[in-house]
Copies of this chain bind each other. A is one copy, B any other.
Amino acid sequence: MINFQTSPDRYKHWKLQISGRVATLSMDVQEDETLAEGYKLKLNSYDLGVDIELADAVQRLRFEHPEVRVVVVTSLKPRIFCAGANIYMLGTSSHAFKVNFCKFTNETRCAIEDDSHNSSRRYIAALNGTASGGGYELAIACDEIYLVDDGNSAVSLPEVPLLGVLPGTGGLTRLVDKRKVRRDRADVFSTLAEGLKGKRAKEWGLIDDHFPTSKFQESVDARVQEILSASASDVSGIRLNPLQVENSAERRDYKYVKVKLNREARYADLTVLGPEAKLPTTPDEIQKLGDTYWPLQAYRELDDALLHLRVNESMVGLVCLRTIGNANDLLALDETLAANRDHWFIREILLHMARVLRRLDLTAKSFFAFVEPGSCFAGNLLELLLASDRSYMLNNSEEAKVAVCVSELNAGALPMSNGLTRLQSRFLADPKKVDEVLAHRGPLATEDAEAAGLITFAPDDLDWEDEIRVAIEERTSLSPDALTGMEASLRFAGPETTDTKIFGRLTAWQNWIFQRPNAVGPQGALTNYGKPTQAQFDFKRTEPP
């Protein structure tokens, strides 16, 4: 089982050093500390284990070190920054694992950009050696890139010429969409195994500047000081403690998130428990609660549960989402969050909730939401329902009406990767419905929720059990691949952003290539990399586009 929890004292591959308002995140990958057998992590190449530490470091910076304004990403290895994803690991991994690995590394790089855009923390890639493949893709996720001029170090994307696969960790997309490198230059760079060095790399927009070895450190330091002088920060963070999880054969239970695995039937029940009543309402009191504050703890648990289901429970094709709790407590909580969103801790909590919900949007499993008596699909938890592929809400008799409810947080605090809220994405055909729904404060009982367009189906007591049983059976009987492609298409209507292009266009092409004999067959380039044998291609162009 792959465990996504770690902390700096347990890092094997990264050093996180905090000095005042500057963090230095140094890569120093230990060759033998791999997540699986059969490969060595030479030249600062990485596997999922290395990236789990990076994701943890970025997350901790946000909560534990809000005072940090600049993050310098660099290497402790001489002459090499990072050689990218380990080729032998990729070459020996299953298709499913490759796909999962790439998705997580992509999410981590998006999290770096999220920190930069939304929390104004500046990431500087200090390339004190060659950054190739995923190494350059990590650099290009940072705000600024500086390369040492030592006569040898270069930036490169050698995936196409050497491995017959794409720079799929955002590389191609960020090249033309983020750094806006001219497409013909991007074409040349992406087919040039040895990459480009200082002068030309700067001229083409691949790096921001280059400095000789003797001046590299002082030049990077000078840039760091320049940024610091323009930013102030006197806050101190909270501690992210390990999550407590109880695992059994059929369950994975956290404090607020409970997962029941129905492996034979290929689905899981995931239930989120709502917050306690009367949570504090001022930032200072909330910060005292730290990581036990419901919105932080519950969403950290949800995040871990999603990652666990993705990587360790691949037979689960459908996740049935439920909530249990008091809607009014949730609404009170959302009011506190909305009122204090300018406070650093509340802002980070909201941004974290948004990232976890985006992780759900990007998860290749079906999600059905079930709204039953005792549920609390209100405010931020209503997003779970809106993120689902469909929802079923009990239309029961008068005595115990089921209801859903919106809060201010549904109006923009928790955006999807496409930049829209889930309500906006839902009502593309009729944008004024978004305002109508948001204007309605107070519970929406089943018939009103249906009329407002918030739910898919509203079976009554008599039909409920049968209808849900059949829906689950039907969904889990369909081709998982067709569902994955269908969900990836239907979930992201409307505008596209760099993020959605990475998870849509780029990832879909990479996954196609990850199936092709020219990459992964016995004579494929990925399979034969580093072996005495050479790749043999079938040169037919198959005409995608």
Contacts and interface: CB of A to CB of B under 8 A. Distances in A.
Contacts of A512: 481, 485, 508, 511-512, 515
A160 B509 contact: no
Interface in A487-504: 487-496, 501, 503-504
A390 B159 CA distance: 19
Interface stretch (A53-61, A276-284, A314-322, A440-448): A314-322
B537 A456 contact: no
Interface stretch (A18-26, A72-80, A404-412, A422-430): A422-430
A474 interface: yes
A166 B489 contact: yes
B481 A425 contact: no
A362 B183 contact: no
Most B CB within 10 A of own CB, among A99, A188, A506, A542 = A542
B365 A191 contact: no
A426 B512 CA distance: 27
Interface string A528-545: 000000010111111111
A508 B164 CA distance: 17
Most B CB within 10 A of own CB, among A315, A388, A485, A494 = A485
A540 B504 contact: no
A222 to B, nearest CB: 25
Interface string A136-176: 00000000000000000000000111011110000011011
A482 B157 CA distance: 12
Oligomeric state, in number of copies? 2
Nearest to A175: B490
A105 interface: no
B503 A542 contact: no
Contacts of A519: 479, 481-482
Contact of A191 (B103, B185, B475, B518): B475
Contacts of A545: 103, 362-364, 484-485, 487-488, 491, 503-504, 507-508
A391 B188 CA distance: 10
A297 interface: no
A237 interface: no
Contacts of A538: 480
A184 B103 contact: no
A329 interface: no
A317 B515 contact: no
Contacts of A505: 488-489, 492, 496, 504-505, 508
Contacts of A180: 428-430, 493
A316 to B, nearest CB: 7
A342 interface: no
What are the 8 tightest A-B residue pairs by CB atom distance, in nearest-first order? Answer: A488-B545, A508-B508, A180-B429, A164-B479, A485-B509, A176-B493, A496-B496, A172-B489
Given A316-B541, A480-B539, 20 more contacts: A160-B483, A176-B493, A179-B429, A184-B389, A187-B486, A191-B478, A205-B429, A314-B540, A314-B543, A362-B545, A364-B542, A479-B535, A480-B538, A481-B516, A484-B541, A485-B545, A489-B506, A504-B504, A505-B508, A508-B508
18 contacts: A96-B540, A103-B543, A160-B479, A164-B479, A166-B482, A183-B425, A183-B426, A187-B390, A314-B541, A314-B542, A480-B537, A481-B516, A481-B519, A482-B513, A482-B518, A485-B510, A489-B505, A507-B545
